Amino acid sequence: MLFNSIEFLFAFLPIAYLVFWGLPNAKARYVWLTITGYVFYGWWDPRFVLLMAFSTLVSYVAGLGILRSPVGSRARTMYLAVPITVDLALLGFFKYTNFALDTVRSVSTAAGAPIPVPHLDIVLPIGISFYTFHTISYMVDAYRGVITPTRNLWEFSTYVSLFSQLVAGPIVRFRQIEEDLEEIGTSSRTRWLTRGISFFCVGLVEKVLMADTLAALVDPSFANWRALSTSGAWLAVLGYTFQLLFDFSGYSTMAVGLGYLFGIRIPQNFNSPYKALNPSDFWERWHSSLSSCLRDYLYIPLGGNRGGTWNTYRNLMLTMLFGGLWHGASWTFVFWGFYHGLLLCLYRVFRTSWDPLPRGVQQFLMFGSAMVGWVFFRATSFTEALHILRIMVVPTSGSWFSDSNLGLVMLVMLIAAWWSMRGPNAFEMRHEWTPTRMVGLAAAFGAGLALIVTARPSPFLYFQF
């Protein structure tokens, strides 16, 4: 179910909200949030709720096993290793089986000894990468003693299936919302009501008015990438650079707002990443919930920046390669991860030369570096990515975006550039309800609704991951 759909806005959300606040205690609210999470997730395909339920039960039992096992015992280690293996096996089967088979077929064909492996008809469950990260982070934190595993199955199932951040993040760790979950039976409906509505409206503007408007330029341009001119390629890549930010940031902002409506504080996921001054700064700002997970559960266990310069570079590259592969089962995603790993390593090498540069120069160079990476992120093949990058550098004639709404798209492009590189993000805005702000929110919400009613709601780009 989409946040920007009529069904969600006028049926699911009002019912979920009114029933939740009418329930008398924590257990009833846990059960209700679990039910709404499964309805929300099963709206696309009911079969896959069983997969999420299985992962939830396995992780819950593992948490109890870790809780009851002595530190350092073999049983405690098994309670961690076995369920993580199960979770990763499920993720690997659904997300990476065909990627592996296609790679074997391509490599064997290139080597002159083709292996006739099939391409399986596997449907990727939406959001499986996100809730798998939730369950794994829970078990690892329990094993490390960072959290005390909950004995309440309904509380844990609420954490895993919380519909506000279930299918596209942020990746919320149990300890980040544990306090709010524990107090859910006595939380106040009005405490964060205005913040919740305000955050949701800001996110709706980001998605519907910004990202979806830019999609009218980006999607047809990339669909006809062979015919693009140099100017057309620049517009398409710039458009996608802003579209991806406002699409994903819009989802995360709406998720934060929905969390507030139900008394749960979901952490920030985007902190104006195009204001970043260097690659390290960028990854502290872009999809920060994933960045922090990769840092804490992969980079640091690999050794982090301990063990010398070359080990640090190795750990950075392995972490970013995994981050690229997590985003999608494609070699273009793997290369995108490699590219950002390389940027991080180069920044460490040349930091003493980079940091003294004027802030505006640093921001401009980092934005351009990120934009080059997004070409590989968006392209469906290396041929497409390299062609687009080539014509961006070599003047080439060809098609250029032509549409009756060209003026609107270009206006939104300019607003997107200012907002992302100079303006405030949702967490930097004031969310108190002054009369002026109420009028502005009502106007933005009304414009978003008008577009939703008159057009088919578009899925969020990160649903595919």
User: What pLDDT was estimated at residue 129?
Assistant: 86
What is the reported pLDDT for 290?
Answer: 92
Say what the pTM is: 0.91
CA distance 31 to 22: 13
Q: Which is more confident, 462 or 268?
A: 268
Q: What is the pLDDT of residues 403-436, one digit of tens each?
A: 556 788 888 999 999 999 999 999 998 877 666 6
pLDDT tens profile 91-146: 999 899 988 888 888 888 888 878 888 888 888 888 888 889 999 999 999 999 99
The answer on pLDDT for 64 being more than 80 is yes
Residue that wins the pLDDT comparison between 363 and 105 = 363
Q: What is the pLDDT of residues 334-356, one digit of tens each?
A: 999 999 999 999 999 999 999 99
Contact 290, 169 (CB under 8 A): yes
In the 3-class helix/strand/coil scheme, how is 329-396 assigned residue by residue?
CCHHHHHHHHHHHHHHHHHHHHHHHHCCCCHHHHHHHHHHHHHHHHHHHHCCCHHHHHHHHHHHHCCC
Run of H or E including 463: none
Q: Is the pLDDT of residue 442 over 60?
A: yes
How is 119-169 classified by DSSP, letter by letter? ----PPPTTHHHHHHHHHHHHHHHHHTSSPPPS-HHHHHHHHH-GGGTTT-
Catalytic residue among 134, 287, 327, 340: 327
For residues 459 and 8, give the distance between their C-alpha atoms in angstroms, rounded to a whole number. 13
Per the CB < 8 A criterion, the answer to whether 181 and 264 are in contact is yes
Is residue 134 annotated as a catalytic residue, yes or no? no
pLDDT tens figures, 389-400: 999 999 888 766
